Amino acid sequence: MLKNYIVVALRTLRRNLGYTSLNVIGLALGITCSLLLFLVIRHELSYDRFHSKADRTYRINVDRVTANGPENSAGTPFPMLATIRASLPELTPATHVFNEEGGTFTVLSTNDREPPRKFREERPILFVEPEFFDLFDFETNGVNARQAIKDVNTVLLTQSIAEKYFPGENPVGRVIRMNNVVNLRVTGVIPDAPANSDLPYLMLVDYESSKTVNSFVTDDSWNSTYSNQQIYFALAPGASKTQAEDRLNEIASKLRDRAPGEKYRYTFQPLSEVHFDERYSNFNGRTVDKTTLWALGLIGLFLVLVASINFVNLATAQALRRAKEVGMRKVLGASKGQLMLQYLSETGLITLVALVLSVMFAELLLPYLNQLLELEIQFSIARDAQVALFLLVVLVVVTLFAGFYPALVLSGFQPISALKSKATTARAAGIPLRRALVVLQFTICQILIICTIIVHHQMEYFRSASLGFDKEAVVVIPVPSGKAKDLMALRPQLEAHSAVHASTFALSPPSSNIGLNTSFKYDDFSVERNYSVNLKIGDEHYLKTFNIPLLAGRVYQKSDTIREFMVNETFLRHVGVKNPEEALGKQLQVNGGQSTGKIVGVVKNFHLASLREEIQPVVMSTATSFYFTYNVKIEQSEAKAALAHLQRVWSTAYPDNVFYYDFLDDTIARFYEGEERQAHLFKIFSVIAIIIGCLGLYGLVSFMVAQRTKEVGVRKVLGASSASIVGLFSKDFAALVLIAFLIAAPISYYSMSKWLQDFTYRIDIGSWVFLAAGALTLLIALTTVSVQALKAAFSNPVRALKTE
């Protein structure tokens, strides 16, 4: 019996090759997308799930509530871990993980003949304790990693770094120098960190060495935290998380100073949430919103749904053609169940073919997707039970969803009427359903189009919105920590080139991930304020270089330490000053009273971070010891020459370091990488949804045209023009697009309003977006319909009437 079904199925599919191809291509596209999205979602959900203690591993975060609003960080005070080890034995194993975001490495040669080789790394170098390996199960390839970083100044290299620094050599026992301050002895080579971990190390260095690399890693203060200094631990089985959390806060409250009115609490964040909670970030610098994953899953589902709808539409439209076969089989005694099974197995076969194609497509497309999303997803159907299961589920669900209704219609034909091709019941029953399904397809397409336009528009806004300073053609060159003076001495040479317009030494450019927050006192110092201000450190050329307008007063004078201040408009609003002139000459105290000075100027507001965030109160001042960057405004058209010049002068100041730079607008663009990727994905998938929808529409219309051949013939004989024939078919679909629009518009408005709420600075959703999406869908639908309708319109009416 089954053989018979398959034989008939194959021959039917071959005979209706056009119809089969539409179905197979549509389904294959839909399934490919859903498979790729499945892989992406699975990858994102797999972060750090592979550690055996993952379920009871936590990170210590701190939640503060200040007048500025909530402040969340994963940074911890430096002495905290020692306290935990002494007083909270249930938190074990526990380890520091200190992240140094890249660095300069010098490979010292073993003889005097070869010069040392220098490398610049931009990705995390983690400083960890031996307990790191008790807590996490990273692959060590037989190396006793715990032992290897037990001593101070030791380093474990990953495979790729070992090959890069020591090609063809055994690195164990060799020495590399980090940031020109510390020599590290290589004690082993371990595999690269897995792609699905938020602890993405290039090297693992013993924790003690972090104190040499960073002079501010101190051991004594509970008051300072650094966001790259984190603590991970496992909670002993059976221990209470809440109780342990309470104990830690109780101990901490006695050790740390508290600002008035400040709320402060240490919390334990499960390892499984580190990848998803953007408030605390992680060492990958990338968190994923679970809502985004849900949205992607939904899109995957939508695409399969749209393709399945094609199937249902085409199959029911085509049912009439197969009426005779159904009738004859019934006459010969086939039961309804047998017929349903037959048509379901046909659908199953088509789905299977589409599935095989999808796997091939997915393998071809995965590298591009990885590139787009900057992920390293791999899949092999043979060795991946989850993917196999996913595909099996898709096969069964699509077959049932797409095949059930057509099978029901076909098997429900009355044998006599079916034999006489009078299967009118099917036509009557099929049409409202087909319309509803087409409406559903149009709705999905329009939602995707509207979302794409809005996301794209917001991205454009990010790119074009005025940030309150010039970001174009500004080069940001890092300066070795504490050595700014060496380069400052060379300022005349640096600025001697004609392509260099202005330059400034500073902690960081106006918009930056790096910032200092400080408590402060204003004017008479009597009022304690429970919020902090952003302290921007830069020399007297800062405003000129970034073209930040001064509202009142003057720029502070050159100084090696904090002496004079400038503040921004938000600062004035916070301290209740209306007129900028009023603030001039007022006293200001920052850094817990360590630095005092006068306000000499007020600057116009500029953005400190991404447009997701509001502009904070800013206090600006000078302090040579905090100059970590040299920012240069250059002539864009002569960038190459300017950079070469800067590198030459820079290298004379720092002969042991590696010169590198970033363009400020690139850095700022990276703030929106996540959204940019989302926008890309939306674009790709809405285009695919539209393609699938058009395939189905094209097929559906061609069947409708075929069915109405006689009607078209009669109309033409009676004098109908070709245009009116096209109109006849288009009218129906235009109405369906309109209904879909009425459903899609509110849904997309609602969801995009929610999405935009994440951004403090955002576009307004204009009605034009909806009109454009509606018009676009209408255009696409009518074009698709017209192609087929024109064929009918231009056909010879005599032939149409004869065939009936």
- 325 is a contact residue toward other proteins (CB under 8 A): yes
307: nearest Cα among 46, 690, 758, 738: 690
Q: Quick one: which of 328, 360, 514, 644 contacts other proteins (CB under 8 A)?
A: 328
Region near other proteins per CB under 8 A, out of 333-341, 558-566, 686-694, 712-720: 333-341
Region near other proteins per CB under 8 A, out of 3-11, 114-122, 284-292, 398-406: 3-11
Q: Judged by CB, which is closer to other proteins: 243, or 421?
A: 421
Q: What are phi and psi of 739, to 5 degrees?
A: -60, -45
Rg (CA), the chain: 34
- 333 is a contact residue toward other proteins (CB under 8 A): yes
117 — alpha (psi -120 to 50), left (phi > 0) or beta?
beta
Sign of CA dihedral 68, 74, 78, 80: positive
Least distance CB 416 / other proteins (angstroms): 5
Least distance CB 23 / other proteins (angstroms): 17
- Is residue 564 within a helix (H) or strand (E), and if so which, with residue range? strand 564-568
Helix-then-strand count for the chain, H and E: 26, 24
Q: Judged by CB, which is closer to other proteins: 194, or 415?
A: 415
Q: Judged by CB, which is closer to other proteins: 334, or 429?
A: 334
- 11 is a contact residue toward other proteins (CB under 8 A): yes
Least distance CB 331 / other proteins (angstroms): 5
Least distance CB 334 / other proteins (angstroms): 5
Contact 285, 228 (CB under 8 A): no
Which residues in 20-134 belong to E strands, given as ranges?
57-66, 69-73, 76-77, 91-107, 117-128
- 327 is a contact residue toward other proteins (CB under 8 A): yes
Round to the nearest angstrom and report the end-to-end CA distance of the chain. Answer: 35
Place of tokens 């960080």: 73
Q: Judged by CB, which is closer to other proteins: 11, or 258?
A: 11
Euclidean distance between CA atoms 774 and 757, whole angstroms: 24
Q: Judged by CB, which is closer to other proteins: 272, or 338?
A: 338
Q: Quick one: which of 43, 96, 174, 330 contacts other proteins (CB under 8 A)?
A: 330
Q: Judged by CB, which is closer to other proteins: 412, or 727?
A: 412
94: nearest Cα among 63, 125, 67, 56: 56
Q: What are phi and psi of 527, to 5 degrees?
A: -90, 120
Q: What are phi and psi of 589, to 5 degrees?
A: -130, 130
Q: Write the single-letter amino acid at 592.
A: G
Contact 501, 656 (CB under 8 A): no
Region near other proteins per CB under 8 A, out of 207-215, 222-230, 414-422, 514-522: 414-422
Contact 613, 760 (CB under 8 A): yes
Least distance CB 741 / other proteins (angstroms): 35
- Is residue 87 within a helix (H) or strand (E), and if so which, with residue range? helix 80-87
Least distance CB 325 / other proteins (angstroms): 5
Binding mask 540-559 for other proteins (x = CB under 8 A): --------------------
Paired tokens of 628: 């970590």
- 416 is a contact residue toward other proteins (CB under 8 A): yes
Q: Quick one: which of 1, 17, 86, 428 contacts other proteins (CB under 8 A)?
A: 1
- 419 is a contact residue toward other proteins (CB under 8 A): yes
DSSP string for residues in 778-802? HHHHHHHHHHHHHHHHHS-HHHHHH
Least distance CB 352 / other proteins (angstroms): 19
- 415 is a contact residue toward other proteins (CB under 8 A): yes
Region near other proteins per CB under 8 A, out of 2-10, 297-305, 579-587, 715-723: 2-10
Q: Quick one: which of 8, 395, 516, 801 contacts other proteins (CB under 8 A)?
A: 8
β-strands 76-77, 175-178 pairing = unpaired
DSSP string for residues in 250-279? HHHHHHS---TT-EEEEEEEEGGGTTT-TT
How many other C-beta atoms can be found within 10 angstroms of the C-beta atom of residue 771?
12
DSSP code for 320: G
Least distance CB 328 / other proteins (angstroms): 5
Q: What are phi and psi of 125, to 5 degrees?
A: -110, 120
Region near other proteins per CB under 8 A, out of 188-196, 311-319, 330-338, 350-358: 330-338
Contact 545, 474 (CB under 8 A): yes
Contact 226, 216 (CB under 8 A): yes
- 332 is a contact residue toward other proteins (CB under 8 A): yes
- 424 is a contact residue toward other proteins (CB under 8 A): no
Question: Per this entry, what is the length of the chain?
Answer: 804
Q: Quick one: which of 227, 338, 481, 751 contacts other proteins (CB under 8 A)?
A: 338
Least distance CB 798 / other proteins (angstroms): 25
716, HSE (Cβ side, Cα atoms, 13 Å): 21
Q: Decide: residue 11, CB within 10 A, 0-12 exposed, 13-18 middle, 19+ buried.
A: exposed
Q: Quick one: which of 12, 179, 616, 748 contacts other proteins (CB under 8 A)?
A: 12
Q: Quick one: which of 336, 422, 677, 791 contacts other proteins (CB under 8 A)?
A: 336
Least distance CB 432 / other proteins (angstroms): 19
| Number of residues near other proteins (by CB under 8 A) | 23
Q: Quick one: which of 215, 335, 557, 753 contacts other proteins (CB under 8 A)?
A: 335
Least distance CB 13 / other proteins (angstroms): 10
Q: Quick one: which of 15, 150, 558, 731 contacts other proteins (CB under 8 A)?
A: 15
Q: Quick one: which of 334, 352, 431, 658 contacts other proteins (CB under 8 A)?
A: 334
Least distance CB 4 / other proteins (angstroms): 6
Q: Write the single-letter amino acid at 107.
A: V
Q: Quick one: which of 67, 331, 489, 779 contacts other proteins (CB under 8 A)?
A: 331
Contact residues for other proteins (CB under 8 A)? 1, 4, 7-8, 11-12, 15, 324-325, 327-336, 338, 415-416, 419
